[in-house]
Amino acid sequence: MDDTAAMQLALDEARRAMSHGDVPVGAMVLRDGEVIAAAHNERELRNDPTAHAEIIA
């Protein structure tokens, strides 16, 4: 996966966060161009101040 495609997936994750009232942040973890994790902010959804996208991913 190239950088542009990975960024698009991160933006898709951010939109998921925004859809349930969270700060629109998405995170992707890639290894050798392969997605091994994807997540979005869930602080408000989980009522958990540590549920940041980069931590969940």
Specify whether 42 is catalytic. Answer: no
Residue of 13, 34, 42, 54 marked active site: 54
Q: Which of 6, 21, 20 lies closest to 57 in space, CA to CA?
A: 6
Residue closest to 23 by CA, chosen among 9, 39, 35, 7: 39
Q: Which residues pair with 13 in a beta bridge?
A: none
The catalytic residues are 54
